[in-house]
Structure 1
């Protein structure tokens, strides 16, 4: 009985943290030997992602959200997905794996879509 109580307490605290503080970013869910993507490896992947941006991408990135047309916003959303794919492929090549924290991928969470997309990087 005590074990169940402890489990519910841990899950409850993790859920409260995500609710009131917000969950960590997706970049913090990539880990290698228990350490999240950071330092030189972060820079390598960031630079790789930045190097493939086109002039149009930079234009859309620098344009304020409120100033983008719906078509431009859709274009930017698709481009963000492509750029994040390049970033995550780089992290995977460097030996990092998508290992989300407890509660990060819960059903009904805002992160659920991203979790489904990144499950191929879990092994």
Structure 2
């Protein structure tokens, strides 16, 4: 055997980099309420997609745990506001309230989706009631 072969040290194995949570699942959870717009779903369906994603991914991804709660709280809140407007339609104030609530929900849901996609995982939509803590 050659001396060079005997002296060569074994390669040093570098430590594994710290595992970061996958932001893709968090982004999907944050954008999911807007899917109800694409399919023309009735009020309340905007809660189903983030609920499913949150229940499936919350234990394996800490980002989804927080974002899922924020998204669910905001979607439940805005659904309640819209339904309150629907109940007030006989008093003629309901139609403007439903329109305002729906437009605010769409705009704020888009803002929420953009913030989550840009890494702002602590954003909470205005007028959100905390149902899930």
Pick the structure with greater CA Rg: 2
Bigger relative CO (Cα 8 Å, ≥ 6 apart): 1
TM value normalised by structure 1: 0.32
